[in-house]
Amino acid sequence: MVSVCLYFHVHQPHRLRNYHVLDIGEDNDYFDTEENKRILQRVTEKCYLPMNNLLLDLIENHPDRFNVSFSISGTAIEQMEAHAPKALQSFQDLAATGNVEFVNETYHHSLAYLNSKDEFDKQVQKHREALNEYFNYEPTTFRNTELIFNNELAEYVENKGYTALLGEGADHLLGWRDPNHIYSTPITDDIDIFLRNYELSDDIAFRFSNESWEHHPLGADTFAEWIDAINGAGEIVNLFMDYETFGEHQWASTGIFDFFEAMVNDVLDNRDNDFLTIEQASDRYPQRGEVDAHHYTSWADARRDLGAWQGNELQRQAHDELYKLEEFVKESDDNDLIEAWRRLTTSDHVYYMYTDGRSDGDVHDHFSPYDSPYKSYMFYMNALNDVARRLGTTSQQRPLSETPSTLLNDIPEEEERMHS
């Protein structure tokens, strides 16, 4: 028997508008609501609605053998509620089937665990409450933002009561082993570690429409044979991917929807196979060994580390300045300011500042709404500077001169140079 664990990640950030230095002190609306709305509504039509309908059909046809896991960031949920209610309803329809698991994460898709356990806990709790409110679901599985994971994180979330944790099946973590089993870590007791089978996942998420790929065009029967081949050598196949794979990254014209439907049916033609949620697989299968994650791994870029968000000085500086403001923001008791700061914790903002020119850079550029990582940095730091300015007028305990200084004195010259 082999069980396929489908896990889809749904996320929409609050992208920043072009927030210029002259906006500081004049306008504290940092986010591009209209652009975020436009992107969400496009993705809803191209991905969320057709793919959710397909999943509903598959659940109806295979109610006892087809299940799926989702994580949906809080920022995606709130934007769907505001701008794409049909999308939110379609996820609620999936929840009502009882065949869908919702995985807990940070509400704002942040890197808070790396910087502030207090903020991490608050965002995780807020996301847990959102899953309960919108989907009537109490999660038992956790995924950190971008599948960032190490031994200490596993121990931390185990102590919070979670029974399963998602991670990346990186070669340097697994060594000679494969990701087709459940693992533990040297410092945890019971929490199950599910590691992404990145080869099979990326065959769908990235290579499916690549005409130079040796397996293009990928047939559903071929992929099902690859899964069948794991029978006897593994118990689970963890297919983890961005939900926008379907219809947005891989357009409908590539045949991605037909492929997925046929692949599920072909896999289920073997009566020994099924599709389980992470929670169901955790209940069914035992741990088969340990992975010792001394260093952080993630599912981003070829290195599968933190470089996608902390790989250059711009990113590290932006992140450091953001969290220097945390204490002062929370002491302000200004709910609007706190929410704006939390939206700035979303990892996408520093992801857009990636400057490595290798192939990974093309992926970053694809997702970025800016034509330069330096503009992303500039607009972000301008917004942080305005947050610091607002603290000087809203906090009686911390005048602006005592708030953490940013490196924004150089930004006007940089902005002038960029627009010249």
Whether residue 180 sits in one domain with residue 109:
yes
Same domain for 361 and 411, yes or no, is yes
Domain stop point among 224, 256, 290: 290
Q: DSSP letters along 329-341, please?
A: HHHTT-HHHHHHH
Q: Does residue 328 form part of some domain?
A: yes
Question: 328 and 276 in one domain?
Answer: no
Given 101, 105, 119, 146, the catalytic residue: 146
Q: Are residues 24 and 94 in the same domain?
A: yes
- 301 located within any domain: no
| Cβ density class 304-340: b for 16+ within 10 Å, e for less | bbbbbbbbbebbebbbebbbbbbebbeebebeebbeb
Instruction: Assess whether 238 and 358 both reside in one domain.
Output: no
Q: What range does the domain containing 366 cover?
A: 310-419
Of the residues 239, 258, 290, which one is the last residue of a structural domain?
290
Query: Are 241 and 382 in a shared domain?
Result: no
**In-domain check, residue 300:** no
Looking at the fold, whether 273 and 332 belong to one and the same domain comes out as: no
> In this structure, are 214 and 331 located in the same domain?
no
Judge whether 285 lies within some domain. Answer: yes
Look up 225 and say whether it is catalytic.
no
Number of domains in the chain: 2
Amino acid present at 182: I
- pTM, full prediction: 0.92
Residue 303 lies in a domain: no
Q: Is residue 295 part of a domain?
A: no
Distance, in Å, from the CA atom of 177 to the CA atom of 299, rounded to the nearest integer, reads: 18
177: left (phi over 0), alpha (psi -120 to 50) or beta: beta
Q: Are residues 346 and 216 both part of a single domain?
A: no
Q: Could you tell me if 166 and 240 lie in one domain?
A: yes
Residues 407 and 346 in one domain: yes
Q: What share of the chain is helix, strand, coil (3-state, %, to 5)?
A: 50, 15, 35
In this structure, what DSSP letter does residue 62 have? -
Is the domain of 224 the same as that of 359?
no
pLDDT in tens, the chain (420 residues): 899 999 999 999 999 999 999 999 999 999 999 999 999 999 999 999 999 999 999 999 999 999 999 999 999 999 999 999 999 999 999 999 999 999 999 999 999 999 999 999 999 999 999 999 999 999 999 999 999 999 999 999 999 999 999 999 999 999 999 999 999 999 999 999 999 999 999 999 999 999 999 999 999 999 999 999 999 899 999 999 999 999 999 999 999 999 999 999 999 999 999 999 999 999 999 999 999 999 999 988 778 889 899 989 999 999 999 999 999 999 999 999 999 999 999 999 999 999 875 544 455 456 688 989 999 999 999 999 999 999 985 544 444 444 444 444 444 344 444 443
CATH code for position 184: 3.20.110.20
